[in-house]
Amino acid sequence: MEKVYTAVVTAKGGRDGSIKSSDGVLSLDLKKPVEMGGEGGNHTNPEQLFAGAYGACYLGALGTVAKHDGIDVSEATAEVHVSFNKDGNAYALSAELHVHIPGQGLQEAQHLAEKAHRACPYSKAIRGNVDVKVIAVER
């Protein structure tokens, strides 16, 4: 495998800490959401960051597979829901990708959405470890 790009981000303080990229472009304070006993407010958290990154990567994969099929997905959206779940005495993530592809019927959109899920590097990274549902939706 040939590395194309490596992101470097330093995290401090866990869920009530901060993250900063080596180039300084990303610099955020993190706080637990109220639902997890935190103060919430105008701060992000790991689940939001993962959802945003997953959505962006997924749409890249969707663009690649759709281009191969001659379908324009430049206006497609992926609304990513990442949940932090309690599983007995442990915790686990789950995710839902609500994929909207303008100009495609739900059946065709679902087919493309699943094809992109098989190709997406984030989906591949968590496959077998995180319960993920990919759902084509109309807007």
* Range 101-118 burial, b when 16+ CB lie within 10 A, else e: beebeeeebbebbebbbe
pLDDT tens, residue by residue, 107-133: 999 999 999 999 999 999 999 999 999
pLDDT tens, residue by residue, 59-108: 999 999 999 999 999 999 999 999 999 989 999 999 999 999 999 999 99
Whole-number pLDDT of residue 52? 98
* H or E segment and range at residue 109: helix 106-119
Hey, what domains does the chain have and what are their CATH numbers?
1-44 (2.20.25.10), 46-136 (3.30.300.20)
pLDDT at 45 over 90: yes
Integer Cα distance of 9 and 15 in angstroms:
15
Contact criterion met (CB below 8 Å) for 70 and 116:
no
**Average pLDDT of 21-35?**
96
Supply the pTM of this predicted model: 0.94
**Encoded tokens for 2:** 């040939």
Contact criterion met (CB below 8 Å) for 90 and 106:
no
Q: Hunting for tokens 């590097």 — which residue is that? A: 121
